[in-house]
């Protein structure tokens, strides 16, 4: 009975994506275009370049940083935040004994650096590699808080979004990531940026969806530089067919089907 109910919920989630979310893309985009408030991503990126120079590596941890939440076996969630004019993505740690793999690493603020270091300490591990869902500053800036030898992977199509001295650290993503009991497929899901990807653990049914798909059927903006509404529609259709049980997006809440 329980299993049946779960299947029903899952099917509802897939149907919601395919029948309700995808057709809404043009309409939501229209509303966003009319919204006077959004800053162009280029402004944010310019700011990124400036602040990168101001970044000072923080000393070990202060108290009061937020705790990690375990969202699946071996998967830990460090919630992102939004403050003043700054935004930092959700970060996810995969843990395999003393090794950690980090999916998205937030922005380059001291706050993010503190939180990342606190999380690493709490998990008693060392970050082996960072995998980024796309190249926006609020998902990649946190690499500054990690040792410079830690490899950082990003779709080559988003390399153009990276500026400044950190650029040399980025390596192109491959199609598969194997780490402990995790085997993640790298799914290209352009739309939010040309190089946006989702990481899909097919056996565990866990989807790291970046800024492509959010909880409750919300989806990423396509009005930034490099955004593509038609591509977003295609990407959402692909994700709708996966049947994920745990959705781990780049911002806000996580979702369980």
Residue ranges binding Zn ion (CB under 5 A): 136, 211
Q: Least separation, in Å, of the C-beta of 136 and Zn ion?
A: 4
Q: Least separation, in Å, of the C-beta of 211 and Zn ion?
A: 4
For residues 171 and 174, give the distance between their C-alpha atoms in angstroms, rounded to a whole number: 9
**Nearer of residues 201 and 211 to Zn ion, judged by Cβ:** 211
**Nearer of residues 81 and 182 to Zn ion, judged by Cβ:** 81
**Nearer of residues 117 and 222 to Zn ion, judged by Cβ:** 222
Distant-in-sequence, close-in-space partners of 177: CB < 8 Å, separation ≥ 6: 101, 131, 183, 184, 186, 199
Q: How many Cβ atoms are within 10 Å of 257's Cβ, its own excluded?
A: 18
Inter-residue contact 202 to 168 (CB < 8 Å): no
**Nearer of residues 114 and 136 to Zn ion, judged by Cβ:** 136
Q: Least separation, in Å, of the C-beta of 75 and Zn ion?
A: 21
For residues 46 and 194, give the distance between their C-alpha atoms in angstroms, rounded to a whole number: 19
136 torsion bin: left (phi>0), alpha (psi -120 to 50), beta (else):
beta
Q: Least separation, in Å, of the C-beta of 38 and Zn ion?
A: 12
């Amino acid at each position: 009975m329980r299993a049946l109910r779960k299947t029903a919920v899952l099917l509802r989630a897939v149907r919601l994506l395919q029948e309700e979310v995808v057709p809404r893309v043009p309409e939501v985009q229209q509303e966003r275009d009319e919204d006077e408030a959004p800053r162009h991503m280029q402004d944010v990126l310019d700011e990124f370049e400036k602040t990168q120079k101001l970044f000072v590596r923080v000393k070990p941890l202060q108290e009061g940083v937020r705790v990690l939440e375990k969202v699946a076996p071996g998967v830990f969630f460090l919630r992102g935040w939004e403050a003043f004019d700054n935004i930092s993505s959700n970060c996810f740690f995969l843990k395999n004994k003393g090794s950690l793999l980090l999916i998205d690493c937030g922005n380059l603020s001291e706050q993010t650096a503190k939180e990342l270091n606190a999380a690493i300490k709490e998990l008693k591990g060392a970050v082996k590699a960072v995998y980024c869902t796309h190249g926006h500053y609020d998902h990649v800036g946190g690499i500054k808080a990690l040792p410079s030898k830690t490899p950082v992977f990003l779709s080559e199509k988003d390399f153009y979004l990276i500026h400044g001295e950190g650029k040399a650290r980025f390596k192109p993503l491959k199609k598969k990531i194997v780490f402990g009991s995790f085997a993640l497929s790298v799914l290209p899901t352009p739309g939010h940026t040309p190089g946006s990807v989702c990481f899909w653990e097919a056996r565990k049914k866990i989807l790291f969806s970046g800024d492509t798909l959010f909880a409750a059927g919300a989806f990423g903006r396509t009005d930034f530089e490099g955004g593509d509404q038609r591509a977003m529609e295609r990407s959402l259709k692909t994700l709708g067919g996966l049947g994920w049980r745990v959705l781990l997006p780049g911002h806000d809440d996580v979702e369980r089907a």
